[in-house]
């Protein structure tokens, strides 16, 4: 193969399709072509599928991560505290980022968090924030820097400046069945985080029926890949493997999860699973940033910041600084979209939740209009579920499986059928799986 042919997109695709290792120059040329139009969307989809089946070696992962990162600006910070971030592989009801960023900022960290759109059956943090009227999910780089510095946290979607090639590949993965590729997940996550100029990163690798990784071995593999590639790039990283056999929060849907977060920060809601995972991830961030001597001390700091209302205040300041309403926390019903039809779904017989097909609930949110089946699809922020039951909880006439928020009777009927099919109820009590399954440092 001549150097010229090495850079042709079809030759790169063919080489990976046939299981051959790619040289860094091939990967760099392919990603550059994705940016300047020499690589088509179809070719990028073919490349993603080839990687999905044939995998990447560690050097290939590093090269892909580097190429995506260098497709845009790489930030440098001069702040009085550590620059920290957290990333989740995604799940259902996973609104942790919305609460965690202001919580860590309230403890002295700086959290310039670049988040993604919904991917597959999982909800996207940027889609949740977009349900807040006026909130600028893609500010320019100057505004991103300014809000991060002045408020302490700034949660946004990918900007045109930071890892723009990843944004293009990300949207293609969402609709081509290549979401679950460990290699593509690793490169996608770390390209954005390295471009953001972090001092420390905590990775939340979800495992279970609502996660992309359904086995512990696969989740550990991703955690090790993230920690390994990040460490090689000089970024201190810890990965936690956490449970997604049930929706993490009892709400799933964009505006509904924002409302849930506001309730959590205000102390109106403190569901055990969501609270525990938020504190564990936040504690790891504080220790990585030198803001706490150990995890117990970090949990105490986070709890105090939550209970005193400092985290809620910082969230409100962030919303206002990015164009959202100043009184969102006090009057969420004035601003967050609401669906016309609200319907509780009860179990056929009372009992205890024995299993939840959590992925199916995420897909049902998409069916209601709360997610995408094509990159260009718009999202209805109002639809989704609240009151979702977790494994081990009692359900019956006074405790439904969940509550549907829909725009039409037909949509509500379809969501009800999906919700009933997603839950298995047993007569006797059932123990839930542990929330924290592993830690990789």
Active-site residue among 121, 192, 301, 390? 192
Angle value at C-alpha 18, between 17 and 19, nearest 5 degrees:
90
Mean pLDDT, the chain, integer: 92
Active-site residue among 12, 71, 88, 181? 88
Q: Domain boundaries in the chain?
A: 3-54, 84-332, 338-426
Active-site residue among 16, 61, 86, 405? 86
Specify the pTM.
Answer: 0.87
Active-site residue among 61, 117, 121, 193? 193
Give catalytic status of residue 159 as yes or no: no
Write down the residue that tokens 């460990």 correspond to: 182
Give catalytic status of residue 331 as yes or no: no
Compute the half-sphere exposure of residue 437: CA atoms within 13 Å on the CB side of its CA. Answer: 21
Q: Which tokens is 216 given?
A: 């512990």
Active-site residue among 12, 71, 115, 125? 125
Q: Which tokens is 20 given?
A: 């051959």
Q: What pLDDT score does 181 carry? A: 87
Active-site residue among 168, 173, 310, 359? 173
Which tens digit of pLDDT belongs to each residue from 86-133? 999 888 999 999 999 999 999 999 999 988 776 567 778 999 999 999
Residues 374 and 66: their CA atoms lie apart, in Å, by: 28
Which tens digit of pLDDT belongs to each residue from 209-224? 888 777 899 899 889 9
Regarding beta strands 200-207 and 384-386, do their DSSP bridges make them parallel or antiparallel, or are they unpaired? unpaired
Give the CA radius of gyration of the chain. Answer: 21
Give catalytic status of residue 250 as yes or no: no
Active-site residue among 16, 61, 87, 220? 87
Within 267-405, residue ranges assigned H as helices are 272-288, 295-307, 310-321, 332-335, 358-365
CATH topology of domain 84-332: Pyrimidine Nucleoside Phosphorylase; Chain A, domain 2 (3.40.1030)
Q: What is the mean pLDDT of each run of 10 residues along the chain (441 residues)?
A: 59 96 94 94 96 94 92 93 93 94 98 79 86 96 96 91 89 85 89 92 92 86 90 89 95 97 96 97 98 98 98 98 97 96 94 95 93 79 97 94 98 97 92 91 90
Give catalytic status of residue 192 as yes or no: yes
Active-site residue among 71, 181, 188, 316? 188
Give catalytic status of residue 128 as yes or no: no
Give catalytic status of residue 334 as yes or no: no
Active-site residue among 12, 61, 65, 85? 85
Q: State whether CATH 3.40.1360.10 applies to domain 338-426.
A: no
Give catalytic status of residue 173 as yes or no: yes
Give catalytic status of residue 268 as yes or no: no
């Amino acid at each position: 193969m001549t150097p010229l042919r090495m850079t042709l997109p079809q030759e790169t695709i063919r080489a990976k399709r046939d299981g051959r290792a790619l040289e860094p120059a091939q990967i760099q040329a392919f990603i550059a072509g994705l940016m300047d139009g020499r690589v088509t969307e179809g070719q990028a989809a073919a490349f993603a599928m080839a990687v999905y089946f044939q995998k990447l070696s560690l050097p290939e992962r590093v090269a892909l991560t580097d190429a995506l990162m260098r497709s845009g600006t790489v930030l440098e910070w001069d702040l009085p505290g550590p620059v920290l971030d957290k990333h989740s592989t995604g799940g259902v009801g996973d609104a942790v980022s919305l609460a965690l960023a202001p919580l860590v900022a309230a403890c002295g960290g700086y959290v310039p968090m670049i988040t993604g759109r919904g991917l597959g059956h999982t909800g996207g943090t940027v889609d949740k924030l977009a349900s807040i009227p006026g909130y600028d999910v893609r500010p320019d780089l100057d505004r991103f820097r300014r809000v991060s510095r002045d408020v302490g946290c700034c949660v946004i979607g990918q900007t045109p400046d930071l890892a723009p090639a990843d944004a293009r590949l990300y949207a293609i993965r969402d609709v081509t069945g290549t979401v679950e590729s460990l290699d593509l997940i690793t490169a996608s996550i770390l390209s954005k985080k390295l471009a953001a100029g972090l001092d420390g990163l905590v990775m939340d690798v979800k495992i279970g029926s609502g996660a992309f990784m359904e086995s512990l071995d696969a989740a550990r593999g991703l955690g090790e890949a993230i920690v390994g590639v990040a460490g090689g790039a000089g970024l201190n990283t810890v990965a936690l493997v956490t449970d997604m056999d049930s929706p993490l929060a009892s709400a799933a849907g964009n505006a509904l999860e924002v409302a849930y977060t506001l309730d959590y920060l205000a102390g109106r809601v403190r569901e055990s699973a969501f609270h525990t995972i938020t504190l564990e991830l936040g504690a790891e961030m504080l220790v990585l940033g030198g803001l706490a001597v150990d995890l117990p001390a970090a949990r105490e700091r986070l709890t105090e910041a939550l209970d005193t209302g400092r985290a809620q205040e910082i969230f409100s300041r962030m919303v206002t600084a990015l164009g959202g309403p100043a009184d969102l926390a006090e009057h969420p019903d004035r601003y967050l979209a609401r669906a016309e039809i609200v319907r509780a779904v009860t179990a056929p017989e009372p009992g205890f939740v024995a299993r939840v097909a959590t992925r199916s609930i995420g897909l049902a949110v998409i069916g209601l209009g709360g997610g995408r089946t094509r990159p260009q699809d718009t999202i209805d922020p109002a639809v989704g579920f609240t009151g979702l039951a977790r494994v081990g909880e009692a359900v019956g006439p006074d405790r439904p499986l969940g509550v549907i928020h829909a725009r039409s009777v037909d949509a509500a009927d379809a969501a009800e059928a999906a919700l009933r099919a997603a839950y298995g109820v047993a007569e006797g009590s059932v123990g839930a799986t542990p929330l924290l399954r592993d830690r990789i440092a």
